Amino acid sequence: MNRLFSALVVCMLSVPSFVQAEEDDLVAQVVGAPIAQNEAHRLASIRLIENYLLPTYEGLSLQMATQAEAWQTVCPAPTKPQLEKLQQHYKNAAGMWVRVEFIRFGPVSFLLRHERVSHWPERRNAVGRALSSLMANPDGEALTLKQFSRASVAVQGLPALERLLFTQDDKWQSPTDEAAIARRCAVGQAIATNLATISREIVEGWKDAEGPLEQARAGKTMGLYYTDASDLGRRLLTDQLTGFQIMGDIKLAAPRGVALEEGQEPVVKSGKLEAWRSGLSKANLLANLYAMKGMTYAWGVTSTWSDTQRVDVETAFQKAHASFRALPTDMKAGLDDGTAPTSIEQALIDLRVLRTQVADVLPPSLDLTLGFNALDGD
């Protein structure tokens, strides 16, 4: 009787081989799918970093270093031609920054590097107040690299340097105030040196063995920057698509203003334009658009798009580029005299279409969803 009972138990507990095979296959599918997905995300992220992000950051570092070197040769009293060269160096450096300014992921997120390079948009004239305070402080120690890197982020970056170079030409040429001119030049040197240092550190961070690129190449997870390859891709993609929102909501819509009551004209706020003092508002938007296109194709997944999708995305980029080029060169003057709002509205329309086209195609082709962005909750 006991032997019969034992045999029955064995039969009940035994699983036929074909059933076990099906279960093993199911487990392999469930486990294998995330592994394959992670590998695809890892490779796509590496392509984006190698083909677009790292070369752009290297270009930024080069421009910042060149700018810093130029500042070292002109103090304590730069001539007008020298000032004009410094202004061009600023434009070159700022033009590279706006090609990565919407990226918050990676080494730029450490030590407040992003905010230190460009504290914008500012609130309550933070840059102007911080710069005035620094100019009034005779302490030379405050301008050393170590001390200056701890100063207010509002005075460390491009917006402060822009004000020094483009809004107070008369203060550079006063023959009766050599000490003030020397101080202004020393402040400019400090900002330029600080920017060059930060930009170099960002590149070094990307290339470091513990940086996101080398970690991705090695297939490592749970590092300083992301938890797995899907998280890496999600963070990069979210930053990219947030760039459209920054361009539309902050760079175009905010300066155009909103109507206080229905039927009224918007209350223009031209002072909210990015880099209006240097006349770069339009150029920066075009550079942003260049960056959006560069990143979209750098992922290396456009071959998976249908012919219709490729045409739709390319057409949307072309229309946005045309409407951006139609913006007035001096956008602030155009807003102030009422000639710019129509072209800004068209740029906003074409930008929304472009954002929709890219957002409809790129995330699915990468098999990624978007996370929270830097503007969520604002």
DSSP character string of 28-49: HHHHHHHHHHHHHHHHHHHHHI
**pLDDT computed for residue 4 by the predictor:** 47
Final residue belonging to a domain, choices 179, 208, 237: 208
More confident residue, 231 or 376: 231
> What's the pLDDT tens digit per position in 91-103?
999 999 999 999 9
Report the CATH number at residue 52. 1.20.1420.20
**pLDDT computed for residue 176 by the predictor:** 66
Tell me how far apart the alpha carbons of residues 288 and 275 are, in angstroms, rounded to a whole number.
Answer: 13
- Please report whether residue 361 resides in a domain: yes
> What's the pLDDT tens digit per position in 56-73?
999 999 999 999 999 999
- Please report whether residue 90 resides in a domain: yes
Do 186 and 245 share a domain, yes or no? no
In this prediction, residue 33 has a pLDDT band, given cuts at 50, 70 and 90, of: very low
In this prediction, residue 261 has a pLDDT band, given cuts at 50, 70 and 90, of: confident
What residue type is assigned to position 84 of the chain?
Answer: E
Question: Judging by beta carbons within 10 Å of its beta carbon (0-12, 13-18, 19+), is residue 72 exposed, middle or buried?
Answer: exposed
More confident residue, 266 or 323: 323
> What's the pLDDT tens digit per position in 265-317?
889 999 999 999 999 999 999 999 999 999 999 999 999 999 999 999 999 99
- Please report whether residue 216 resides in a domain: no
Task: List own/partner pairs for 97-101 with CB under 8 A and 24 or more apart.
Answer: 97/60, 97/158, 98/284, 98/287, 98/288, 98/291, 99/56, 99/59, 99/60, 99/287, 99/288, 99/290, 99/291, 99/294, 100/53, 100/56, 100/57, 100/60, 100/291, 101/246, 101/288
The conformation of residue 168, written as its DSSP 8-state character, comes to -
Do 198 and 274 share a domain, yes or no? no
Closest CA to 226 of 53, 58, 45, 37: 45
What residue type is assigned to position 303 of the chain?
Answer: S
In this prediction, residue 17 has a pLDDT band, given cuts at 50, 70 and 90, of: low
Other CB atoms within a 10 A radius of the CB of residue 33 amount to 10
Closest CA to 317 of 288, 345, 289, 359: 289
- Structural domain harbouring 359: 229-366
Please say if the pLDDT value at position 175 is more than 80: no
Answer for the pair 199, 65: CB distance below 8 angstroms, yes or no. yes
What residue type is assigned to position 258 of the chain?
Answer: V
pTM of the model: 0.88
Tell me how far apart the alpha carbons of residues 91 and 339 are, in angstroms, rounded to a whole number.
Answer: 25
Do 256 and 184 share a domain, yes or no? no
Do 203 and 236 share a domain, yes or no? no
Do 203 and 71 share a domain, yes or no? yes
- Please report whether residue 213 resides in a domain: no
What is the total count of domains within the chain?
2
